[in-house]
Amino acid sequence: MKRPAALLSALAVLLLPLAAAAAPIDWADGITTPGNPGADLGSASYSTWSVDGERITLRFLLPLADAQRVAGSDIEVLVQQRVGQYLLDHLAVRSGGTPCEAIDQGYDIGRVDPLTVAAGLYGFEIFFQCASPAAGLVLEDHALFDRLPGQVNFARVQVADGPFRAQLFSASQQRLSLPARGSLSAAHWHRYAALGFTRMLGRWDRLCFLLGIVLLARRAREVQAVGAGLAVGYLLSLLATMPGNLVPRGGLLGAAGGLLVALVAARLLVGQLARPRRAIITAMGALLCLAALALLAHATWPLVLLLAGAALFAGGVLGMRDTWANPGLQAALLAAVFGFLDGFVLPAALAPQPQSGRALWPMVTGYDLGAWFAALCVVGLLWLARAALVRWLRQARYSAPRALIRDAATAMLGGLGVFWMLSRLHG
Protein backbone atom coordinates (compact mmCIF):
# COMPACT_ATOMS: atom_id res chain seq x y z
CA MET A 1 0.00 0.00 0.00
CA LYS A 2 1.32 3.46 -0.80
CA ARG A 3 2.23 5.74 2.08
CA PRO A 4 -0.60 8.27 1.53
CA ALA A 5 -3.18 5.50 1.58
CA ALA A 6 -1.67 3.95 4.68
CA LEU A 7 -1.61 7.34 6.44
CA LEU A 8 -5.23 8.07 5.57
CA SER A 9 -6.33 4.66 6.79
CA ALA A 10 -4.46 5.09 10.07
CA LEU A 11 -6.00 8.51 10.72
CA ALA A 12 -9.46 7.23 9.88
CA VAL A 13 -9.09 4.32 12.27
CA LEU A 14 -8.63 6.92 15.01
CA LEU A 15 -11.54 9.14 13.98
CA LEU A 16 -14.25 6.70 12.90
CA PRO A 17 -14.57 4.81 16.19
CA LEU A 18 -14.62 8.02 18.20
CA ALA A 19 -17.29 9.58 16.06
CA ALA A 20 -19.59 6.78 14.99
CA ALA A 21 -19.41 4.30 17.79
CA ALA A 22 -18.02 5.61 21.03
CA ALA A 23 -18.28 9.32 21.63
CA PRO A 24 -16.99 10.21 25.12
CA ILE A 25 -19.62 11.28 27.61
CA ASP A 26 -18.16 14.78 27.78
CA TRP A 27 -19.08 15.33 24.13
CA ALA A 28 -22.73 14.52 24.62
CA ASP A 29 -23.60 18.13 25.50
CA GLY A 30 -25.45 16.94 28.57
CA ILE A 31 -27.65 14.52 26.64
CA THR A 32 -26.48 10.94 26.68
CA THR A 33 -29.71 9.50 25.27
CA PRO A 34 -30.60 10.26 21.63
CA GLY A 35 -34.15 10.39 20.39
CA ASN A 36 -34.27 6.68 19.59
CA PRO A 37 -31.30 4.95 21.21
CA GLY A 38 -32.25 1.57 19.85
CA ALA A 39 -32.84 2.78 16.29
CA ASP A 40 -30.10 0.66 14.75
CA LEU A 41 -31.23 -2.39 16.70
CA GLY A 42 -34.92 -1.94 16.09
CA SER A 43 -37.75 -0.99 18.43
CA ALA A 44 -36.62 -1.20 22.08
CA SER A 45 -38.11 -0.28 25.44
CA TYR A 46 -36.84 -0.53 29.01
CA SER A 47 -38.30 -1.63 32.32
CA THR A 48 -37.17 -1.93 35.92
CA TRP A 49 -39.04 -4.26 38.30
CA SER A 50 -38.34 -4.00 42.05
CA VAL A 51 -39.92 -6.63 44.29
CA ASP A 52 -40.21 -5.60 47.96
CA GLY A 53 -42.44 -7.99 49.88
CA GLU A 54 -46.00 -7.60 48.68
CA ARG A 55 -45.28 -4.52 46.55
CA ILE A 56 -43.72 -4.49 43.10
CA THR A 57 -42.57 -1.18 41.63
CA LEU A 58 -42.36 -0.98 37.85
CA ARG A 59 -40.71 1.80 35.89
CA PHE A 60 -41.16 1.65 32.12
CA LEU A 61 -39.25 3.74 29.55
CA LEU A 62 -39.83 3.98 25.82
CA PRO A 63 -38.47 6.26 23.10
CA LEU A 64 -40.41 9.38 22.21
CA ALA A 65 -41.14 8.27 18.64
CA ASP A 66 -42.54 4.91 19.78
CA ALA A 67 -44.69 6.57 22.46
CA GLN A 68 -46.15 8.98 19.92
CA ARG A 69 -46.84 6.13 17.53
CA VAL A 70 -48.71 4.18 20.19
CA ALA A 71 -50.66 7.27 21.27
CA GLY A 72 -51.39 8.42 17.74
CA SER A 73 -50.46 11.97 18.74
CA ASP A 74 -47.41 14.12 19.48
CA ILE A 75 -49.17 16.21 22.14
CA GLU A 76 -47.40 15.46 25.40
CA VAL A 77 -50.49 15.33 27.61
CA LEU A 78 -52.30 12.96 25.25
CA VAL A 79 -49.20 10.78 24.91
CA GLN A 80 -48.90 10.47 28.69
CA GLN A 81 -52.57 9.64 29.12
CA ARG A 82 -52.94 7.20 26.24
CA VAL A 83 -49.62 5.40 26.65
CA GLY A 84 -50.08 5.25 30.41
CA GLN A 85 -53.46 3.55 30.02
CA TYR A 86 -52.08 1.26 27.34
CA LEU A 87 -49.23 0.15 29.63
CA LEU A 88 -51.66 -0.37 32.49
CA ASP A 89 -53.65 -2.76 30.27
CA HIS A 90 -50.58 -4.68 29.05
CA LEU A 91 -48.33 -4.95 32.11
CA ALA A 92 -49.20 -7.22 35.01
CA VAL A 93 -47.91 -9.09 38.03
CA ARG A 94 -49.37 -12.35 39.33
CA SER A 95 -48.78 -13.93 42.69
CA GLY A 96 -49.82 -17.57 43.01
CA GLY A 97 -51.92 -17.16 39.85
CA THR A 98 -53.82 -14.21 41.30
CA PRO A 99 -53.41 -10.79 39.61
CA CYS A 100 -51.80 -8.12 41.77
CA GLU A 101 -53.70 -4.83 41.73
CA ALA A 102 -52.19 -1.64 40.28
CA ILE A 103 -52.83 0.79 43.15
CA ASP A 104 -53.70 4.47 43.12
CA GLN A 105 -50.62 6.48 44.09
CA GLY A 106 -52.60 9.40 45.51
CA TYR A 107 -51.95 13.13 45.05
CA ASP A 108 -54.22 12.99 41.94
CA ILE A 109 -51.59 10.86 40.19
CA GLY A 110 -53.78 7.86 39.59
CA ARG A 111 -52.45 4.37 38.93
CA VAL A 112 -49.82 5.46 36.39
CA ASP A 113 -47.32 8.17 37.22
CA PRO A 114 -45.63 9.90 34.21
CA LEU A 115 -41.95 10.34 35.03
CA THR A 116 -39.49 13.03 34.03
CA VAL A 117 -36.62 11.15 32.44
CA ALA A 118 -33.82 11.77 29.93
CA ALA A 119 -34.46 13.68 26.72
CA GLY A 120 -36.08 11.62 23.99
CA LEU A 121 -37.77 9.21 26.40
CA TYR A 122 -41.14 8.87 28.10
CA GLY A 123 -41.22 7.26 31.54
CA PHE A 124 -44.04 5.73 33.57
CA GLU A 125 -44.27 4.21 37.04
CA ILE A 126 -46.79 1.68 38.35
CA PHE A 127 -47.13 0.13 41.82
CA PHE A 128 -48.53 -3.40 42.01
CA GLN A 129 -49.85 -4.57 45.40
CA CYS A 130 -50.28 -8.28 45.98
CA ALA A 131 -52.94 -9.51 48.41
CA SER A 132 -50.55 -11.90 50.14
CA PRO A 133 -46.77 -12.26 50.44
CA ALA A 134 -45.34 -12.83 47.02
CA ALA A 135 -45.29 -16.53 46.15
CA GLY A 136 -44.99 -17.95 42.68
CA LEU A 137 -44.50 -14.43 41.38
CA VAL A 138 -44.82 -13.94 37.61
CA LEU A 139 -43.99 -10.70 35.78
CA GLU A 140 -45.91 -10.14 32.56
CA ASP A 141 -45.00 -7.70 29.80
CA HIS A 142 -47.35 -7.72 26.81
CA ALA A 143 -46.76 -4.08 25.89
CA LEU A 144 -45.84 -2.86 22.40
CA PHE A 145 -45.41 -6.30 20.83
CA ASP A 146 -48.76 -5.88 19.08
CA ARG A 147 -47.96 -2.33 17.95
CA LEU A 148 -44.26 -2.36 17.08
CA PRO A 149 -42.97 -5.37 15.12
CA GLY A 150 -39.64 -6.63 16.38
CA GLN A 151 -40.11 -4.95 19.76
CA VAL A 152 -37.77 -6.04 22.55
CA ASN A 153 -37.87 -4.91 26.17
CA PHE A 154 -34.63 -4.77 28.15
CA ALA A 155 -35.57 -5.34 31.78
CA ARG A 156 -33.81 -5.20 35.12
CA VAL A 157 -35.33 -7.19 37.97
CA GLN A 158 -34.52 -6.84 41.66
CA VAL A 159 -35.90 -9.23 44.27
CA ALA A 160 -35.86 -7.94 47.87
CA ASP A 161 -32.52 -6.25 48.47
CA GLY A 162 -30.66 -8.39 45.98
CA PRO A 163 -28.81 -7.13 42.90
CA PHE A 164 -30.53 -6.14 39.67
CA ARG A 165 -30.50 -8.90 37.07
CA ALA A 166 -30.75 -8.22 33.34
CA GLN A 167 -33.72 -9.88 31.65
CA LEU A 168 -35.24 -9.76 28.20
CA PHE A 169 -38.91 -9.66 27.18
CA SER A 170 -39.79 -10.35 23.56
CA ALA A 171 -42.79 -11.36 21.49
CA SER A 172 -41.92 -15.02 22.06
CA GLN A 173 -41.36 -14.66 25.81
CA GLN A 174 -43.64 -12.20 27.59
CA ARG A 175 -43.61 -13.78 31.05
CA LEU A 176 -40.90 -14.16 33.66
CA SER A 177 -41.36 -16.49 36.63
CA LEU A 178 -39.36 -15.52 39.69
CA PRO A 179 -37.87 -18.33 41.78
CA ALA A 180 -39.56 -19.03 45.12
CA ARG A 181 -36.18 -19.74 46.67
CA GLY A 182 -32.71 -18.65 45.83
CA SER A 183 -31.59 -15.67 43.80
CA LEU A 184 -32.76 -14.70 40.35
CA SER A 185 -30.35 -15.39 37.49
CA ALA A 186 -29.79 -13.06 34.58
CA ALA A 187 -31.07 -13.96 31.12
CA HIS A 188 -28.81 -16.49 29.44
CA TRP A 189 -26.42 -15.26 26.77
CA HIS A 190 -28.08 -17.41 24.11
CA ARG A 191 -31.17 -15.17 24.23
CA TYR A 192 -29.02 -12.23 23.15
CA ALA A 193 -27.39 -14.45 20.53
CA ALA A 194 -30.84 -15.13 19.06
CA LEU A 195 -31.51 -11.39 19.11
CA GLY A 196 -28.26 -10.65 17.27
CA PHE A 197 -28.96 -13.39 14.72
CA THR A 198 -32.47 -12.18 13.87
CA ARG A 199 -31.50 -8.50 13.80
CA MET A 200 -28.65 -9.18 11.36
CA LEU A 201 -31.04 -10.95 8.99
CA GLY A 202 -33.66 -8.25 9.35
CA ARG A 203 -31.58 -5.20 8.39
CA TRP A 204 -31.28 -4.39 4.70
CA ASP A 205 -28.19 -2.22 5.11
CA ARG A 206 -26.28 -5.11 6.69
CA LEU A 207 -27.43 -7.55 4.02
CA CYS A 208 -26.40 -5.12 1.27
CA PHE A 209 -22.97 -4.68 2.82
CA LEU A 210 -22.47 -8.46 2.95
CA LEU A 211 -23.57 -8.70 -0.69
CA GLY A 212 -20.94 -6.12 -1.62
CA ILE A 213 -18.27 -8.01 0.31
CA VAL A 214 -19.13 -11.20 -1.58
CA LEU A 215 -18.87 -9.33 -4.89
CA LEU A 216 -15.49 -7.95 -3.82
CA ALA A 217 -14.03 -11.31 -2.80
CA ARG A 218 -13.03 -13.63 -5.63
CA ARG A 219 -11.92 -16.89 -4.03
CA ALA A 220 -13.08 -19.10 -1.20
CA ARG A 221 -10.04 -18.20 0.92
CA GLU A 222 -10.97 -14.54 0.59
CA VAL A 223 -14.43 -15.32 1.95
CA GLN A 224 -12.72 -17.00 4.89
CA ALA A 225 -10.73 -13.80 5.45
CA VAL A 226 -14.04 -11.93 5.61
CA GLY A 227 -15.19 -14.19 8.43
CA ALA A 228 -11.94 -13.59 10.31
CA GLY A 229 -12.22 -9.83 9.76
CA LEU A 230 -15.75 -9.80 11.16
CA ALA A 231 -14.59 -11.72 14.24
CA VAL A 232 -11.73 -9.28 14.85
CA GLY A 233 -14.07 -6.30 14.53
CA TYR A 234 -16.62 -7.71 16.98
CA LEU A 235 -13.86 -8.57 19.45
CA LEU A 236 -12.41 -5.06 19.33
CA SER A 237 -15.82 -3.48 19.91
CA LEU A 238 -16.41 -5.83 22.84
CA LEU A 239 -13.13 -4.78 24.44
CA ALA A 240 -13.96 -1.11 23.85
CA THR A 241 -17.39 -1.23 25.47
CA MET A 242 -16.45 -3.20 28.58
CA PRO A 243 -15.02 -0.26 30.62
CA GLY A 244 -18.48 1.34 30.52
CA ASN A 245 -17.30 4.94 30.04
CA LEU A 246 -18.27 5.21 26.38
CA VAL A 247 -21.69 6.22 25.08
CA PRO A 248 -22.44 4.67 21.68
CA ARG A 249 -24.62 6.80 19.40
CA GLY A 250 -27.22 4.79 17.53
CA GLY A 251 -27.91 7.44 14.87
CA LEU A 252 -24.30 7.79 13.85
CA LEU A 253 -23.88 4.02 13.84
CA GLY A 254 -26.60 3.81 11.21
CA ALA A 255 -24.96 6.54 9.13
CA ALA A 256 -21.61 4.75 9.33
CA GLY A 257 -23.31 1.56 8.15
CA GLY A 258 -24.65 3.36 5.09
CA LEU A 259 -21.18 4.76 4.44
CA LEU A 260 -19.69 1.25 4.44
CA VAL A 261 -22.27 0.07 1.89
CA ALA A 262 -21.41 3.01 -0.37
CA LEU A 263 -17.70 2.41 0.17
CA VAL A 264 -17.94 -1.22 -0.90
CA ALA A 265 -19.72 -0.11 -4.08
CA ALA A 266 -17.01 2.51 -4.67
CA ARG A 267 -14.34 -0.14 -4.14
CA LEU A 268 -15.96 -2.30 -6.82
CA LEU A 269 -16.20 0.70 -9.17
CA VAL A 270 -12.65 1.92 -8.64
CA GLY A 271 -11.32 -1.54 -9.42
CA GLN A 272 -12.68 -1.14 -12.97
CA LEU A 273 -11.20 2.30 -13.66
CA ALA A 274 -7.90 2.79 -15.44
CA ARG A 275 -7.22 6.07 -13.61
CA PRO A 276 -9.19 6.11 -10.39
CA ARG A 277 -7.44 9.09 -8.79
CA ARG A 278 -10.08 11.63 -9.79
CA ALA A 279 -12.88 9.43 -8.48
CA ILE A 280 -11.08 8.99 -5.17
CA ILE A 281 -10.43 12.72 -4.81
CA THR A 282 -14.07 13.45 -5.68
CA ALA A 283 -15.34 11.04 -3.02
CA MET A 284 -13.01 12.46 -0.39
CA GLY A 285 -13.87 16.02 -1.36
CA ALA A 286 -17.61 15.40 -1.08
CA LEU A 287 -17.27 13.96 2.43
CA LEU A 288 -14.93 16.76 3.54
CA CYS A 289 -17.41 19.33 2.21
CA LEU A 290 -20.14 17.67 4.25
CA ALA A 291 -17.89 17.83 7.31
CA ALA A 292 -17.23 21.54 6.69
CA LEU A 293 -20.94 22.26 6.26
CA ALA A 294 -21.70 20.36 9.47
CA LEU A 295 -19.06 22.42 11.29
CA LEU A 296 -20.50 25.68 9.96
CA ALA A 297 -23.97 24.54 11.00
CA HIS A 298 -22.69 24.06 14.57
CA ALA A 299 -23.20 20.30 14.46
CA THR A 300 -21.89 18.18 17.32
CA TRP A 301 -18.27 17.12 17.23
CA PRO A 302 -19.08 13.40 16.78
CA LEU A 303 -20.90 14.18 13.53
CA VAL A 304 -18.05 16.34 12.22
CA LEU A 305 -15.49 13.69 13.16
CA LEU A 306 -17.57 10.99 11.50
CA LEU A 307 -17.58 12.83 8.18
CA ALA A 308 -13.90 13.77 8.39
CA GLY A 309 -12.96 10.23 9.34
CA ALA A 310 -15.15 8.89 6.53
CA ALA A 311 -13.28 11.04 4.00
CA LEU A 312 -9.89 9.80 5.20
CA PHE A 313 -11.04 6.21 5.39
CA ALA A 314 -12.52 6.36 1.89
CA GLY A 315 -9.27 7.75 0.50
CA GLY A 316 -7.23 5.09 2.28
CA VAL A 317 -9.36 2.15 1.20
CA LEU A 318 -9.91 3.30 -2.38
CA GLY A 319 -6.22 4.18 -2.74
CA MET A 320 -5.14 0.60 -2.11
CA ARG A 321 -5.71 -0.46 -5.67
CA ASP A 322 -2.17 -0.13 -7.05
CA THR A 323 -0.10 -1.87 -4.40
CA TRP A 324 -2.49 -3.78 -2.13
CA ALA A 325 -4.41 -5.53 -4.88
CA ASN A 326 -5.47 -8.59 -2.89
CA PRO A 327 -9.28 -8.34 -2.75
CA GLY A 328 -9.31 -10.70 0.23
CA LEU A 329 -7.33 -8.28 2.38
CA GLN A 330 -9.51 -5.39 1.28
CA ALA A 331 -12.67 -7.35 2.03
CA ALA A 332 -11.28 -8.43 5.41
CA LEU A 333 -10.47 -4.82 6.33
CA LEU A 334 -13.94 -3.60 5.43
CA ALA A 335 -15.48 -6.56 7.25
CA ALA A 336 -13.46 -5.75 10.38
CA VAL A 337 -14.68 -2.14 10.36
CA PHE A 338 -18.24 -3.36 9.81
CA GLY A 339 -17.95 -5.82 12.70
CA PHE A 340 -16.46 -3.15 14.93
CA LEU A 341 -19.32 -0.72 14.30
CA ASP A 342 -22.01 -3.41 14.45
CA GLY A 343 -20.61 -4.54 17.78
CA PHE A 344 -21.74 -1.25 19.30
CA VAL A 345 -25.40 -1.74 18.35
CA LEU A 346 -26.47 -3.46 21.56
CA PRO A 347 -24.54 -1.10 23.89
CA ALA A 348 -26.14 1.82 22.04
CA ALA A 349 -29.58 0.33 22.57
CA LEU A 350 -28.81 -0.14 26.28
CA ALA A 351 -27.71 3.47 26.79
CA PRO A 352 -30.94 4.52 28.60
CA GLN A 353 -30.48 1.62 31.00
CA PRO A 354 -26.75 1.48 31.85
CA GLN A 355 -25.34 -1.88 32.86
CA SER A 356 -22.22 -2.76 34.80
CA GLY A 357 -19.35 -4.29 32.87
CA ARG A 358 -20.01 -7.65 34.53
CA ALA A 359 -23.66 -7.61 33.44
CA LEU A 360 -22.90 -6.22 29.99
CA TRP A 361 -20.29 -8.83 29.08
CA PRO A 362 -22.60 -11.86 28.50
CA MET A 363 -25.22 -9.67 26.83
CA VAL A 364 -22.87 -8.15 24.26
CA THR A 365 -20.90 -11.37 23.79
CA GLY A 366 -24.06 -13.30 23.04
CA TYR A 367 -25.39 -10.64 20.70
CA ASP A 368 -22.11 -10.41 18.79
CA LEU A 369 -21.83 -14.18 18.43
CA GLY A 370 -25.34 -14.35 17.03
CA ALA A 371 -24.73 -11.47 14.62
CA TRP A 372 -21.38 -12.93 13.54
CA PHE A 373 -22.88 -16.35 12.87
CA ALA A 374 -25.76 -14.83 10.92
CA ALA A 375 -23.30 -12.80 8.82
CA LEU A 376 -21.30 -15.95 8.07
CA CYS A 377 -24.47 -17.74 6.98
CA VAL A 378 -25.45 -14.87 4.69
CA VAL A 379 -21.96 -14.61 3.20
CA GLY A 380 -21.84 -18.36 2.62
CA LEU A 381 -25.23 -18.44 0.91
CA LEU A 382 -24.42 -15.42 -1.25
CA TRP A 383 -21.09 -16.93 -2.21
CA LEU A 384 -22.73 -20.20 -3.29
CA ALA A 385 -25.39 -18.29 -5.23
CA ARG A 386 -22.75 -16.17 -6.94
CA ALA A 387 -20.64 -19.24 -7.84
CA ALA A 388 -23.69 -20.99 -9.30
CA LEU A 389 -24.66 -17.91 -11.31
CA VAL A 390 -21.12 -17.39 -12.66
CA ARG A 391 -20.87 -21.06 -13.62
CA TRP A 392 -24.18 -20.87 -15.45
CA LEU A 393 -23.16 -17.71 -17.30
CA ARG A 394 -19.87 -19.25 -18.36
CA GLN A 395 -21.56 -22.36 -19.67
CA ALA A 396 -24.09 -20.25 -21.53
CA ARG A 397 -21.31 -17.90 -22.70
CA TYR A 398 -23.23 -14.80 -21.64
CA SER A 399 -20.45 -12.32 -20.95
CA ALA A 400 -22.52 -9.17 -21.38
CA PRO A 401 -25.22 -10.11 -18.85
CA ARG A 402 -22.52 -11.03 -16.33
CA ALA A 403 -21.00 -7.55 -16.55
CA LEU A 404 -24.47 -6.03 -16.51
CA ILE A 405 -25.38 -7.87 -13.30
CA ARG A 406 -22.15 -6.70 -11.63
CA ASP A 407 -22.64 -3.09 -12.69
CA ALA A 408 -26.29 -3.09 -11.66
CA ALA A 409 -25.40 -4.49 -8.23
CA THR A 410 -22.67 -1.87 -7.81
CA ALA A 411 -25.01 0.98 -8.74
CA MET A 412 -27.71 -0.34 -6.41
CA LEU A 413 -25.32 -0.64 -3.47
CA GLY A 414 -23.84 2.80 -4.09
CA GLY A 415 -27.22 4.51 -4.28
CA LEU A 416 -28.61 2.76 -1.21
CA GLY A 417 -25.46 3.41 0.80
CA VAL A 418 -25.45 7.14 0.05
CA PHE A 419 -29.18 7.38 0.79
CA TRP A 420 -28.85 5.59 4.13
CA MET A 421 -25.87 7.67 5.18
CA LEU A 422 -27.41 11.07 4.35
CA SER A 423 -30.89 10.25 5.66
CA ARG A 424 -29.51 8.99 8.99
CA LEU A 425 -27.19 11.93 9.35
CA HIS A 426 -30.14 14.24 8.80
CA GLY A 427 -32.26 12.26 11.24
DSSP notation for 235-291: HHHHHHHTTS-EE--HHHHHHHHHHHHHHHHHHHHHTT-S--HHHHHHHHHHHHHHH
Shared domain check, 210 and 170 = no
> Percentage of the chain with pLDDT > 90?
25
**Cα 122–365–10 angle (5° rounding)?**
95
| CB distance 142 to 86 below 8 Å | no
pLDDT confidence of residue 338:
92
What pLDDT shows up at residue 367?
Answer: 94
Q: What is the maximal distance between C-alpha atoms in the chain?
A: 81
Residue 399: predicted pLDDT: 57
Give the bridge partners for 99, in sequence order: 94
Q: Do residue 346 and residue 409 come from a single domain? A: yes
* Residues 216 and 171 placed together within one structural domain of the fold: no
Distances (CA, A) of 262 to 163, 337, 409, 413: 45, 14, 12, 6
Distance CA 242, CA 275 (A): 44
What are 230-233's contacts with CB under 8 Å, separation 24+?
A: 230/335, 230/336, 230/338, 230/339, 230/372, 230/375, 230/376, 231/339, 231/372, 232/336, 232/339, 233/335, 233/336, 233/337, 233/338, 233/339, 233/340, 233/341, 233/342, 233/343
In a domain, 245, yes or no: yes
* Domain contains 37: no
Instruction: Quick: pLDDT tens for 91-142.
Output: 999 988 888 999 888 777 788 999 888 888 899 999 999 887 656 789 999 9
Q: Which of these three, 150, 171, 187, is where a domain ends?
A: 187
Residue 6 has pLDDT above 50, yes or no: no
- 421 domain residue, yes or no: yes
Single residue among 158, 187, 216 that ends a domain in this structure: 187
Q: Which residue has the higher pLDDT, 126 or 215?
A: 126
What's residue 8's pLDDT?
43
pLDDT number for residue 415 = 83
CA–CA distance, 212 with 236 (Å, rounded to integer): 23
**How many other CB atoms sit within 10 Å of the CB of residue 390?**
12
The kind and range of the H/E element at 175 are strand 175-177
Q: Are residues 111 and 18 in the same domain?
A: no
Cβ atoms of 29 and 247 closer than 8 Å = no
Domain shared by 395 and 258, yes or no: yes
In a domain, 38, yes or no: no
Tell me, yes or no, whether 203 and 181 share the same domain.
Answer: no
Does any domain span residue 330? yes
The residues, ordered by sequence, that sit 6+ positions from 45 with a Cβ below 8 Å of its Cβ are 60, 61, 62, 63, 66, 143, 144, 151, 152, 153, 154
Looking at per-residue pLDDT, the higher value among 256 and 18 belongs to: 256
Last residue of a domain, one of 187, 222, 249: 187
> Which structural domain range is residue 328 located in?
3-31+193-426
Is the confidence at residue 376, as pLDDT, over 60?
Answer: yes
Tell me the mean pLDDT in the region 364-392: 90
Asked which of 6-10, 296-300, 306-310, 326-330 is least confident by mean pLDDT, the reply is 6-10
**Shared domain check, 402 and 346:** yes
Percent pLDDT > 70 in the chain is 81
Reply yes or no on whether the pLDDT at 309 is more than 80: no
Residues 218, 169 within the same domain? no
pLDDT, position 62: 92
Q: Which of 34-38, 196-200, 347-351, 423-427 has the highest mean pLDDT?
A: 196-200
- How many domains would you assign to the chain? 2
170 and 206 housed in the same domain: no
The reported pLDDT for the residue numbered 403 is 62
β partners of residue 95:
98, 137
What does the mean pLDDT of the chain come to? Answer: 79
- Is 23 domain-assigned? yes
Those residues whose C-beta lies under 8 Å from the C-beta of residue 249, and which sit 6 or more positions away, are: 20, 21, 23, 34, 302, 348
10 has pLDDT over 50: no
Question: Residue 360 has what pLDDT?
Answer: 85
Do 217 and 223 form a contact (C-beta atoms < 8 A)? yes
Confidence of residue 19 (pLDDT cuts 50, 70, 90): very low
CB contact at 8 A, 338 and 230: yes
Q: Which pLDDT belongs to residue 9?
A: 43
- Kindly report the pTM of this predicted structure: 0.82
The tens digit of pLDDT for each residue in 316-357 reads 777 765 445 566 777 888 899 899 989 888 888 888 887 777
Same domain, 204 and 349: yes
| Rounded Cα gap, residues 327 and 314, in angstroms | 16
| CA dist 393 → 89, 220, 246, 255 (Å) | 58, 19, 50, 36
**36 domain-assigned:** no
Q: Is the residue at 357 inside a domain?
A: yes
* 215 and 342 together in one domain: yes
Say what the pLDDT of residue 86 is.
93
Kindly state whether residues 199 and 179 are assigned to the same domain. no
